[in-house]
Structure 1
Amino acid sequence: MIKDNQQYFNRLHVIVDAFVIAGSYILAWYLKIGSNLKDTGPEVGVLDMKIYFSALYFVVPGYLILYYWFKLYSPKRVQRSESEIVNVCKANIVGVTVFLAVLFTVNNTFSSFQVHDFSRGMVGIFCAVNTVNTLLMRALIRYILYYVRKKGYNLKYILLVGYSRAAEEYINRINSNPQWGYVVRGILDDKVPRGATYKGVKVLGSIDNLLYILPENKLDEIAITLSLESYDRLEELVDLCEKSGVHTKFIPDYNSLIPGKPYMEDLMGLPVINIRYVPLSNTLSALAKRCVDIAGSFFGLILISPLLLVVALLVKATSKGPVIFKQERVGLHNKTFMMYKFRTMRQQQPGEEKKGWTVKGDPRITRVGAFLRRTSLDELPQLFNVLLGDMSLVGPRPERPQFVEKFREEIPRYMIKHQVRPGMTGWAQINGYRGDTSIRKRIEYDIYYIENWSMAFDIKILFLTFFKGFINENAY
């Protein structure tokens, strides 16, 4: 079974990494120094090859420790390849930084060692070559494991204890990811009759059958997937599985209660589940985003000021009424603010615009207004909202109070969007959800943005806005 072979695979993986690191180092030495020696012979000030290669006694184990530190030897079944790429890059950047720091320290502390001629360029080449080689080797290992598991080898056998929504979701993910090599043997449950199936997985009997199954030692894992009403048996089952020595997982059935992306924190030894992870609740992250908003809106207003003037003149010359249209919207922490836009409709009676949102062919829209809406130029005055702090460059689009009251009752998790500042553009908008489109889908994208925020994500959205966000068939 897998649990008998995993330790040997991990040891083999370490040995392969050691050879890759050593090979990358030797290749870097040859590219920077060895090839020149072959053509011109030894140069004055070039260290002996033995000195360079003696560093391998420290480089190889040092990098292996870094790989372990960055969790590159954790099981690959459910480890995302993107996470592995990031961790390999981090490990190599830290490694080359430490390498150069050690050279600097030794050179300044022990001048007799004569390492001042040690090529820093070679160290840089080694970092690049080793990163590429390590990623290629790990991609090859992933491919080999995927091929082996596809052939029916290297599989991990799991038994689910408890039929619940969590069990169904777990089976769904295993079925859609055959490269993980998981095989669900069956489900034990007291309430669902024996023989019932879900996606090809059968209910084998009651939970008490676990007493007879565990001694057979034919399972790699037990996954406890009890429904909420059966949690009174949780402690008993965990104790039973732990005594058997089988690796045990607990998959909580809280999707209906905690539908987002929860995270754990340790409160002096007490595990606390936060219902939703909002990166922007971190003060430093929020401050960094606000600084970008201020700088972006300030310089943006300066750069597009000629365009703002032209649009303002067009609006004023083609229809009666003010150039700027102000409308109440709901923002951060459910507080209202006045959002600015170029006026795109004929002047209406007070409260008339509250009757509904714009639909295709809306007779209230002026000819110039239709162009401004189609190209999103009417949104440019919101840079002033960003500068004032009512909005952000990127975030969920704000909505009018009457629609917020309507949607908060009709759409689950709708109010989560108000945990961050609303934005001029957002993840939902560049994916086509703007104007008269599905509010439910829009909220799904907004929540994904809120839970997965990063500065790089904001930059990606701003970049894509120029290609997908300005002109959209749903903007009218």
Structure 2
Amino acid sequence: MTRKYQRRHSRWYELLLFSLTFHLVVGMSLALFLPGLERWGWGFWDYLPDVRRNTLVAIGLAFTASALTLRRMSRFPGAQLGANIMPTVSIAFLLVVAILFFTREGYTRQVMLSGYLVSVVWFYLGYFLGRRFRILKFAVVPFGNTHRLRGNSKVDLRLLDEPSLDGLRVDGVMADLRAQDLPPEWQKFLATCTLCHIPVYHSRQISETISGRVQIDRLSENEFGSLLPPLFYVGFKRVMDFLCAVALLPFLLPVLLVVALLIKRDSSGPVFFMQPRVGYRGRPFNMFKFRSMYHDMSGEDFTISGDDPRITPLGRKLRRYRLDELPQIFNILRGEMSFIGPRPESASLSEWYEQDVPFFSYRHVVRPGISGWAQVEQGYAAEVDGMTRKLQYDFYYIKHFSLWLDVLITLKTVRIIFTGFGAR
């Protein structure tokens, strides 16, 4: 007789509390009803002129977008959901307000603001109440390469002594499915888990969940079973990059002018530094940066750790807050770069890495970016050992290439700008 195991969060009240549908129905109802009740009184649903309808629809769209984005971002390592709630909800509401403004549709500001505040409170309440339950718990089959993995604040790993889950409820079972020494009783145990609707994961998948990196001993396909990123999102992202760059250009031009004047005042030489880089599909291009080094000094193609004597005093500040990267908006307009993607390397370094790092050229399957998953997780890397680790982050980005990961990287990049993490 098949043994019965129970998956974690499988009871009806747990399924209810952790379901996206519950949060959308209950949370959105509160975000719509409470502000409407306070502003328009009881029975406001009976009569909905255009202004009221526009306001409620905008709140509903912003709440739904926030819920979906936060849910999808929480799946990535190091998502720091608590730190992303406020900016995610704020951006969603600002976008719907911008749409109403440009379409010249009326809305009630007081109700919109109240809906925003109720949404923020709801998401933070859900975060703090469910924080303990969001830590994934996996049972580990002690064969193959599973002994190399260690849990973290996101994943709780429980090593099994026998092929049984009696008294243990987990989100899934982790096993090295390529292990040659997996005994028959453990194979039967894995089959029993699947019959009880407890998912069985290959250890490589959990390793990626913990580290945010993909091992590069072999190429790894994405969730669609292909090595090629989703072509629809590749095209959509290019359009959004261009539109965002055009929208940002009027605001960045004064900043670019001020920084250029400061560079000319700080040291002699050209304002811009242009270096050949390897880009999308391996095509070379010239990447624009503000010059942050003395013009008449030479050295390595990468910045030396510590106090590199070639960097000017102003250049050190520009690098710390990533202001030297601002001219790359012109590379984005030309289609050579994206806001988010693997950082492009110089042609000379690329040749060096391709000799020592397996599959290095695969990172060119997407457009390079000003910021990327490796930059927000690791920081700067130039040596081969550091580059191998950076490449693992790049492969993770390519494998999980999506809007949700780009949003998470954008939010992390904004925080990094104010902390200077990874700067050289």
Same fold (TM over 0.5): yes
Measure the CA separation in 2 of the matches of 1:184 and 1:232.
13
Note if 1:3 corresponds to 2:4.
yes
Measure the CA separation in 1 of the matches of 2:378 and 2:173.
39
Measure the CA separation in 1 of the matches of 2:175 and 2:404.
36
Note if 1:291 corresponds to 2:239.
yes
Measure the CA separation in 2 of the matches of 1:174 and 1:340.
39
- The residue type paired with residue 273 of structure 2 is F
Query: Does the residue aligned with 2:394 lie in a helix, a strand or coil?
Result: helix
- Cα distance per residue 1:161-194 (max 9 Å; x no partner): x93125765xx6699966x9x772437xxxxxxx
Measure the CA separation in 1 of the matches of 2:313 and 2:239.
37
Query: Does the residue aligned with 1:303 lie in a helix, a strand or coil?
Result: helix
Contact 1:337 1:390 in 2 (8 A): yes
Note if 1:186 corresponds to 2:147.
no
- The residue type paired with residue 302 of structure 2 is W
Q: Show the counterpart of 2:54.
A: none
Q: How much does 1:346 deviate?
A: 2.9
1:56-95 matches, within 5 Å, as: none
Which segment is superposed worse, 250-259 or 435-444? Answer: 250-259
Given the superposition, is the C-alpha separation of residues 439 and 472 from structure 1 closer, same or farther in structure 2, using an over 3 Å criterion? farther
Q: How much does 1:372 deviate?
A: 2.8
1:276-315 matches, within 5 Å, as: 281-315=229-263
Larger gyration radius, structure 1 or structure 2: 1
Query: Does the residue aligned with 2:293 lie in a helix, a strand or coil?
Result: coil
- After TM superposition, the score normalised by the length of structure 2 is 0.55
One of 329, 333, 346 as aligned partner of 1:400:
346
Note if 1:341 corresponds to 2:324.
no
Note if 1:370 corresponds to 2:350.
no
Query: Does the residue aligned with 1:407 lie in a helix, a strand or coil?
Result: helix
Q: Show the counterpart of 1:165.
A: 145
Computed over aligned residues only, the root mean square deviation of the Cα atoms, in angstroms, reads 6.0
Given the superposition, is the C-alpha separation of residues 233 and 408 from structure 1 closer, same or farther in structure 2, using an over 3 Å criterion? farther
Which segment is superposed worse, 379-388 or 302-311? Answer: 302-311
Given the superposition, is the C-alpha separation of residues 2 and 413 from structure 1 closer, same or farther in structure 2, using an over 3 Å criterion? farther
Q: Show the counterpart of 2:271.
A: 323
Q: How much does 1:296 deviate?
A: 2.0
Runs (5+) with no aligned partner, structure 1? 38-42, 47-81, 83-124, 147-154, 188-212, 266-272
Query: Does the residue aligned with 1:314 lie in a helix, a strand or coil?
Result: helix
Q: Show the counterpart of 1:439.
A: 387
Matched pairs, number: 337
- Cα distance per residue 1:370-399 (max 9 Å; x no partner): 333333222211110011011111122111
Note if 1:422 corresponds to 2:368.
yes
Contact 2:277 2:285 in 1 (8 A): yes
- The residue type paired with residue 450 of structure 1 is I
Q: How much does 1:401 deviate?
A: 1.8
Given the superposition, is the C-alpha separation of residues 318 and 449 from structure 1 closer, same or farther in structure 2, using an over 3 Å criterion? same
Contact 1:224 1:248 in 2 (8 A): no
Contact 1:241 1:248 in 2 (8 A): no
- Cα distance per residue 1:19-77 (max 9 Å; x no partner): 9999x99xx89x97xxx99xxxxx9x98xxxxxxxxxxxxxxxxxxxxxxxxxxxxxxx
Q: How much does 1:456 deviate?
A: 4.1
Given the superposition, is the C-alpha separation of residues 259 and 173 from structure 1 closer, same or farther in structure 2, using an over 3 Å criterion? farther
Contact 2:320 2:417 in 1 (8 A): no
Q: Show the counterpart of 2:397.
A: 449
Note if 1:380 corresponds to 2:360.
no
- The residue type paired with residue 145 of structure 2 is R
Measure the CA separation in 2 of the matches of 1:425 and 1:168.
31
Contact 1:342 1:381 in 2 (8 A): yes
Contact 1:165 1:227 in 2 (8 A): no
Query: Does the residue aligned with 2:244 lie in a helix, a strand or coil?
Result: helix
Contact 1:432 1:472 in 2 (8 A): no
Given the superposition, is the C-alpha separation of residues 183 and 288 from structure 1 closer, same or farther in structure 2, using an over 3 Å criterion? same
Measure the CA separation in 2 of the matches of 1:463 and 1:218.
40
Q: How much does 1:433 deviate?
A: 0.5
- The residue type paired with residue 390 of structure 2 is R
Runs (5+) with no aligned partner, structure 2? 47-80, 82-114, 208-214
Measure the CA separation in 2 of the matches of 1:433 and 1:411.
19
Contact 1:341 1:380 in 2 (8 A): yes
- After TM superposition, the score normalised by the length of structure 1 is 0.50
Q: How much does 1:12 deviate?
A: 8.0
Q: How much does 1:407 deviate?
A: 2.6
Higher relative contact order (CA closer than 8 Å, sequence separation 6+):
2
Query: Does the residue aligned with 1:393 lie in a helix, a strand or coil?
Result: strand
Contact 1:340 1:385 in 2 (8 A): yes
Contact 2:175 2:201 in 1 (8 A): yes
Q: Show the counterpart of 1:358.
A: 303
Measure the CA separation in 1 of the matches of 2:314 and 2:13.
68
Measure the CA separation in 2 of the matches of 1:388 and 1:247.
49
Q: How much does 1:329 deviate?
A: 0.8
Q: How much does 1:319 deviate?
A: 3.5
Contact 1:436 1:474 in 2 (8 A): no
- Cα distance per residue 1:265-297 (max 9 Å; x no partner): 5xxxxxxx54x5x6xx22321222112211222
Q: How much does 1:475 deviate?
A: 2.8
Given the superposition, is the C-alpha separation of residues 325 and 12 from structure 1 closer, same or farther in structure 2, using an over 3 Å criterion? closer
